[in-house]
Chain A
Amino acid sequence: MTPLLEVKNLHAEIDGKKILNGLDLVVNKGEVHAIMGPNGAGKSTLSYVLAGRDGYEVTEGDVLLNGESMLEMEPSERACKGVFLAFQYPMEIPGVATMTFLRAALNAQRKTRGEPELSSPDAIRKVKDVAGQLGINMDMLKRPVNVGFSGGEKKRAETMQMALLEPKLCLLDETDSGLDIDALKVVSEGVNRLRSPERGFVVITHYQRLLDHIVPDIVHVMSAGKIVRTGGKELAHELEASGYAQYQQEAA
């Protein structure tokens, strides 16, 4: 069976600085992978390269989504094919109303699937359904995208967008950072509701804490731009106890 995501010997750099150094990763439908690693390992970079952000140069390797190379695709094409990145630092967009943004995203994705556009009331209904489950009220939806949201509200909003867009591959970059324990539960429940045999997850985190709530099938350790160890969920606990020091040394 073709994997959902296949990252093959990926090398990437920014401004001539090598950040990913031959990274391999295979994610099948239905699996939840965790990527853990010290700060500066290149975790966010990996998520950006997968999502198609400008400025990164892939010098070697390939990234396949359902067997198709994504490297030449615009970020919007990737999103429409089912890639979703929940940002470590979601951006504030003054002047763009949250509803306008969500409807534009929904309709852009529906269009590529040949589905009719959602009317404004239909979009509002759909958003309200999902938003409620994540404790996001109408007041927040009336504001410009992420503007004035607390760190926790931003992460809930990211999860809400993910639930709304129903992606195939969910990339979560440090979704737990800046969350208190209650918010962490809300967000994790939101993510767990989306788990399905059709969907794959890559959960990037620095701490094991999130993985108590979103229990992974496979855990990878990333250091200096590549995966240095892979194991089951018990690996996360081991890391919590021993820290990343040994991996940082290996990489150095």
Chain B
Amino acid sequence: MGENVTANRTPAEIGLAEAFAQLDGKLPGNSDVKAKREEAFARFGSVGLPHRRVEAWHYTDLKSLQREALPLAAPPSAEAKTAAWNAQTLFAGLGARRLVIIDGTVVPALSDMDGLEPGLTVSTMAAALSEGDPFVASHLGTGRPVDDPAVELNTAFMGDGVVIRVAEGAVIERPIHLVFVATGDVPASTFVRSLVVVGNGAKLTLAESHQALGAAAYQPNIGLELVVGDDAQVDYVKCLRESTASQHLASFMTALGARAVFNHFSLTTGGAVVRNQLFLKLNGEGACVDIRGANLLRGNQHADTTLVADHLAPGCQAREVFKSVLADESRGIFQGKISVAPDAQKTDAKMMAQALLLSETAEFDSKPELEIFADDVQCGHGTTAGALDEDLRFYLMARGIPADEAESLLIQAFVGETLENIAHESLKSVLMSAVADWLQAGGASHA
């Protein structure tokens, strides 16, 4: 293998290998962590960056999209911290507990680390890895998908992140907000890995936002592992508003216990290339997930949502609704795989992907897959793609509403279904405004 693989390696793959070789001791962790990193990088190295002929990455050819591996981001300077703090506005009025991650490093001084509710524990991944925290060691990587290059790279290079534990039965009312800010002064990559473990019967609302200040090229690789205990509930929202200089890879890995409830919403309006991966393991009987998302893209943006839902226990319910609004030359991708294990009888899983194409040159690709090994299940999926409904547009205009506003109303209506299940009212209204902001920013570009 060696020679051939080496010969075909791209500058980005060579850069990653060199960066990994030069790490020695620069990243946190004891020898166990080091071993984990090495295993992960070896698995990555044997296949390299994924490309068109790798089925799971067919539509997002990282080999050609990531021309170079950017250097690991330096810890933020004092000025960068101030700038980032002043600029982060999303979800600002929420009163959430903010955990601030600047250029891939958690900044405790800017984070609400004090006054934790009973049952809530928060620490940094860097500290947990350095100290060899046995809890983190035992959980990290348990929800890892097999052979996913983005996750392998995340594990190999993970620098910092947050570790959140919610004790059994604890109901944490105040949302926790992971505030990711990229200062964007110099080209950089970041590898953030977080772990959230929610005990049996506990409850947590988690928000995640991503913003970039400067316009320098930026490659964030974000990993989040979430373990939801029996009868626990997690409501999660993500809002991605990075600049179009960002290539954002995010892997969300969730394991759900019996009767666990997981509600997920993600909104992507930023980033040049975005891949949001969701790996769901419904391990406990009667778990219930509601996964929704909206990608609003224009220009040359490319956003890929890839979902793999493994139904491993009986009686689980899953609803998945993803919507893409695609203007200009943008490209939206939805890949969704529902797989139902032989034991997972009475699985009820429905998946829907819809795209609204605002221009002739926008493109939407959808690949739904069902892999069912149980016989008593209800599974379904659907895909639609089309332009704005001219008749509805006329109806609105016939009442005096100008064309651009009529289109905005119809786009908001299209996206609306993905937002309607967000229980936290202020979170929901912030996200609705984010959709409105996106429409506003477009002006009449798609008229």
Tell me, rounded to whole Å, the shortest Cβ–Cβ distance linking A51 to chain B: 5
- In chain B, positions 14-37 with a C-beta closer than 8 Å to chain A are none
- In the bound complex, CA of A93 to CA of B414 (Å): 10
Is A161 in contact with B413, judged by CB distance below 8 angstroms?
no
In the bound complex, residues from chain A placing their C-beta under 8 Å from that of B373 are none
B410 at the interface (CB under 8 A from A): yes
Q: Which residue of A lies closest to B417 (CB)?
A: A95
Partner of B390, one of A51, A54, A165: A54
- In the bound complex, CA of A53 to CA of B56 (Å): 45
A-B contact pairs, 20 of them (CB 8 A): A51-B394, A52-B397, A53-B394, A74-B397, A75-B397, A75-B398, A76-B398, A76-B399, A76-B402, A79-B399, A87-B395, A93-B395, A93-B410, A95-B414, A96-B396, A101-B401, A105-B399, A108-B399, A144-B413, A161-B399
In the bound complex, residues from chain B placing their C-beta under 8 Å from that of A108 are 399-402, 405
Is A104 in contact with B409, judged by CB distance below 8 angstroms?
yes
Number of B interface residues in the complex (CB < 8 A): 22
- In chain A, positions 15-55 with a C-beta closer than 8 Å to chain B are 51-55
In the A-B complex, the 10 residue pairs with the closest CB atoms: A95-B413, A79-B400, A105-B399, A75-B397, A109-B400, A76-B397, A108-B400, A95-B416, A91-B395, A96-B413
Tell me, rounded to whole Å, the shortest Cβ–Cβ distance linking A172 to chain B: 13
- In the bound complex, CA of A165 to CA of B391 (Å): 21
- In the bound complex, CA of A94 to CA of B392 (Å): 10
A100 at the interface (CB under 8 A from B): yes
Tell me, rounded to whole Å, the shortest Cβ–Cβ distance linking B67 to chain A: 40
B406 at the interface (CB under 8 A from A): yes
- In the bound complex, CA of A100 to CA of B396 (Å): 11
Is A96 in contact with B394, judged by CB distance below 8 angstroms?
no
In the bound complex, residues from chain A placing their C-beta under 8 Å from that of B417 are 95
- In chain A, positions 101-115 with a C-beta closer than 8 Å to chain B are 101, 104-105, 108-109, 112
Is B413 in contact with A104, judged by CB distance below 8 angstroms?
no
Tell me, rounded to whole Å, the shortest Cβ–Cβ distance linking B394 to chain A: 5
Q: Which residue of B lies closest to A55 (CB)?
A: B390
Is A165 in contact with B400, judged by CB distance below 8 angstroms?
yes
Is A94 in contact with B413, judged by CB distance below 8 angstroms?
yes
> If the complex has contacts A54-B394, A76-B406, are A93 and B399 also in contact, measured as CB distance less than 8 A?
no
A85 at the interface (CB under 8 A from B): yes
- In chain B, positions 367-420 with a C-beta closer than 8 Å to chain A are 390-392, 394-403, 405-406, 409-410, 412-414, 416-417
Is B392 in contact with A91, judged by CB distance below 8 angstroms?
yes
Is A104 in contact with B405, judged by CB distance below 8 angstroms?
yes
Is A90 in contact with B403, judged by CB distance below 8 angstroms?
no
Is A76 in contact with B413, judged by CB distance below 8 angstroms?
no
Cβ proximity bits A65-79 to B, threshold 8 Å, 1 near / 0 not: 000000000111011
> If the complex has contacts A91-B391, A95-B417, A96-B410, are A51 and B400 also in contact, measured as CB distance less than 8 A?
no
In the bound complex, residues from chain B placing their C-beta under 8 Å from that of A87 are 395, 398
- In the bound complex, CA of A84 to CA of B399 (Å): 7
Partner of B409, one of A52, A55, A96: A96
- In the bound complex, CA of A144 to CA of B397 (Å): 17
Number of A interface residues in the complex (CB < 8 A): 30
Chain B binding site: helix, strand, loop or mixed by DSSP? helix
A131 at the interface (CB under 8 A from B): no
- In the bound complex, CA of A52 to CA of B417 (Å): 31
- Identify which of B399, B403, B410 gathers the most chain A CB atoms within 10 Å of its CB: B399
Cβ proximity bits A52-68 to B, threshold 8 Å, 1 near / 0 not: 11110000000000000
- In the bound complex, CA of A104 to CA of B399 (Å): 9
In the bound complex, residues from chain B placing their C-beta under 8 Å from that of A79 are 397-400
- In the bound complex, CA of A55 to CA of B390 (Å): 10
- In the bound complex, CA of A105 to CA of B405 (Å): 10
Tell me, rounded to whole Å, the shortest Cβ–Cβ distance linking A195 to chain B: 21
In the bound complex, residues from chain A placing their C-beta under 8 Å from that of B399 are 76, 79, 84, 101, 104-105, 108, 161, 165
- In the bound complex, CA of A161 to CA of B400 (Å): 11
Q: Which residue of B lies closest to A145 (CB)?
A: B395
Q: A76-B403, A93-B413, A104-B409 are in contact. List 9 more A-B contacts (CB 8 A).
A: A51-B398, A85-B398, A91-B391, A95-B414, A100-B409, A105-B399, A105-B401, A108-B399, A112-B400
Is B395 in contact with A90, judged by CB distance below 8 angstroms?
yes
In the bound complex, residues from chain A placing their C-beta under 8 Å from that of B413 are 93-96, 144
- In the bound complex, CA of A115 to CA of B396 (Å): 20
A236 at the interface (CB under 8 A from B): no
Is B406 in contact with A93, judged by CB distance below 8 angstroms?
no
Q: Which residue of A lies closest to B413 (CB)?
A: A95
A127 at the interface (CB under 8 A from B): no
Is B409 in contact with A75, judged by CB distance below 8 angstroms?
no
Tell me, rounded to whole Å, the shortest Cβ–Cβ distance linking A79 to chain B: 4
Is A104 in contact with B401, judged by CB distance below 8 angstroms?
yes
Is B400 in contact with A80, judged by CB distance below 8 angstroms?
yes
Is A101 in contact with B409, judged by CB distance below 8 angstroms?
yes
- In the bound complex, CA of A78 to CA of B402 (Å): 11
Is B400 in contact with A74, judged by CB distance below 8 angstroms?
no
In the bound complex, residues from chain A placing their C-beta under 8 Å from that of B403 are 74, 76
Tell me, rounded to whole Å, the shortest Cβ–Cβ distance linking A250 to chain B: 32
Q: Which residue of B lies closest to A109 (CB)?
A: B400
Q: Which residue of B lies closest to A144 (CB)?
A: B413
Partner of A95, one of B391, B402, B412: B412
- In the bound complex, CA of A109 to CA of B400 (Å): 6
- In chain B, positions 130-156 with a C-beta closer than 8 Å to chain A are none
- In the bound complex, CA of A84 to CA of B400 (Å): 9
In the bound complex, residues from chain A placing their C-beta under 8 Å from that of B412 are 95-96
Tell me, rounded to whole Å, the shortest Cβ–Cβ distance linking A39 to chain B: 20
- In the bound complex, CA of A184 to CA of B416 (Å): 35
In the bound complex, residues from chain B placing their C-beta under 8 Å from that of A78 are 398
Tell me, rounded to whole Å, the shortest Cβ–Cβ distance linking B222 to chain A: 31
Is B400 in contact with A76, judged by CB distance below 8 angstroms?
yes
- In the bound complex, CA of A52 to CA of B399 (Å): 12
Tell me, rounded to whole Å, the shortest Cβ–Cβ distance linking A175 to chain B: 15
In the bound complex, residues from chain B placing their C-beta under 8 Å from that of A95 are 412-414, 416-417
In the bound complex, residues from chain A placing their C-beta under 8 Å from that of B405 are 104, 108
- In the bound complex, CA of A94 to CA of B417 (Å): 10
Is B401 in contact with A76, judged by CB distance below 8 angstroms?
yes
Tell me, rounded to whole Å, the shortest Cβ–Cβ distance linking B420 to chain A: 9
- In the bound complex, CA of A80 to CA of B397 (Å): 10
In the bound complex, residues from chain A placing their C-beta under 8 Å from that of B401 are 76, 101, 104-105, 108
> If the complex has contacts A95-B413, A104-B409, are A74 and B402 also in contact, measured as CB distance less than 8 A?
yes
